[in-house]
Amino acid sequence: MAVGKVDKWKLKKWYDVSAPKLFKEMNIGEVPANSDAAMQNRNLVIDLFSITSNPAHMYTNVHLKVYDASGTAAKTKLMAVEQLYSYIRSLSRRHKTLSELVTEVTSKDNIKMVVKLIVVANGRITSSRKDGIRDEARKVIHNYFKENNAEEIINNIIEKKLQGEITAKLSHITQISKVEIKKLEIPQGV
């Protein structure tokens, strides 16, 4: 055995990672790192169920980024809310039509976000109806984001209130089975 070798794991220290203010800054786990600088800007993906303990959030992941690490504490900000791929795939069935929409929006408090939406309609529908669904959904999303601040928007997306509102507005075009926000990206974080 070589003399002077040090186990790298013994040099690391454990940081208590806390959730963003949106989730009441609760402790979500521990992460090892060599130093505070190594902990900065680290990306973490955690399922929303482990934060909220709500079974309805089983298929939702939250992307967090460490912005402050000092001592043994690390603070995070929310970067994205995303539905699991397996859940999105389960929406695609026979005799259903999927319409997808990606749009950039700005909230009332000037936070830019990217919304990736998927609309599931019953039966096969024409391309003109798919276009109508996308156009109407884009209008609803842009109006909603102009009227609300970022925290309200994120809470309503997590609780599926925005999706319900979009479903109600699209029901005059065709019979809508489900509306899901596949991913909400927040490039600057909240």
**Assigned token pair, 172:** 């005059």
List, for residues 43-85, the tens digit of each pLDDT value: 999 999 999 889 999 999 999 999 999 888 999 999 999 999 9
- CATH code of domain 85-185: 3.30.479.30
pLDDT for res 2: 60
Provide the residue ranges of all domains of the chain, joining segments of one domain with +: 11-83, 85-185
pLDDT exceeds cutoff 60 at 31? yes
pLDDT for res 47: 93
pLDDT for res 132: 93
CA torsion, points 37, 41, 46, 50, in degrees to nearest 10? 60
List, for residues 80-130, the tens digit of each pLDDT value: 999 999 999 998 888 899 999 999 999 999 999 999 999 999 989 999 999
**Residue 3 — very low, low, confident or very high, per pLDDT cuts 50/70/90?**
low
Q: 16 or 2: which carries more pLDDT confidence?
A: 16
pLDDT for res 118: 95
Q: What is the pTM of this model?
A: 0.87
- The SS3 call for residue 176 is strand
**Residue 8 — very low, low, confident or very high, per pLDDT cuts 50/70/90?**
confident
Angle at 33 between CA 51 and CA 29, to 5 degrees: 15
Continuous H helices in 30-160: 36-39, 49-52, 85-91, 127-147, 150-158
169: closest CA among 148, 141, 131, 127? 141
**Mean pLDDT across the chain, nearest whole number?**
91
CA atoms within 13 A on the CB side of 102: 2
Question: Contact 60/82 with Cβ under 8 angstroms?
Answer: yes
Q: How do 73-83 and 176-185 pair as beta strands? A: antiparallel
Give the Cα separation of 136 and 158 in Å (integer).
21
